[in-house]
A and B are shown apart, each in its own frame.
Chain A
Amino acid sequence: SQTIHQWPATLVQPVGSPLSLECTVEGTSNPNLYWYRQAAGRGLQLLFYSVGIGQISSEVPQNLSASRPQDRQFILSSKKLLLSDSGFYLCAWDREGNQPQHFGDGTRLSIL
Chain B
Amino acid sequence: AQSVSQHNHHVILSEAASLELGCNYSYGGTVNLFWYVQYPGQHLQLLLKYFSGDPLVKGIKGFEAEFIKSKFSFNLRKPSVQWSDTAEYFCAVSKSGSARQLTFGSGTQLTVLP
The chain A residues found within 8 Å of chain B, CB to CB, are 32, 34, 36, 41-46, 49, 51, 57, 59, 90, 92, 94, 96, 98, 100-106
A101, B102: Cβ atoms under 8 Å? yes
A-B CB contact pairs (8 Å), 22 listed: A32-B99, A34-B102, A42-B106, A43-B107, A44-B102, A46-B101, A46-B102, A49-B101, A51-B98, A57-B99, A59-B101, A92-B102, A94-B100, A96-B98, A98-B32, A100-B49, A101-B100, A101-B102, A103-B36, A104-B43, A106-B43, A106-B44
In the bound complex, residues from chain A placing their C-beta under 8 Å from that of B49 are 100
A98, B51: Cβ atoms under 8 Å? yes
Distance in angstroms between the alpha carbons of A57 and B98 in the assembled complex: 13
Determine whether B103 belongs to the interface, using a CB cutoff of 8 Å to chain A.
yes
Question: A43-B6, A51-B99, A98-B52 known; 8 other A-B pairs, CB under 8 Å?
Answer: A32-B98, A32-B99, A36-B104, A43-B90, A100-B46, A101-B102, A103-B43, A103-B44
Distance in angstroms between the alpha carbons of A49 and B98 in the assembled complex: 11
B98, A43: Cβ atoms under 8 Å? no
B100, A105: Cβ atoms under 8 Å? no
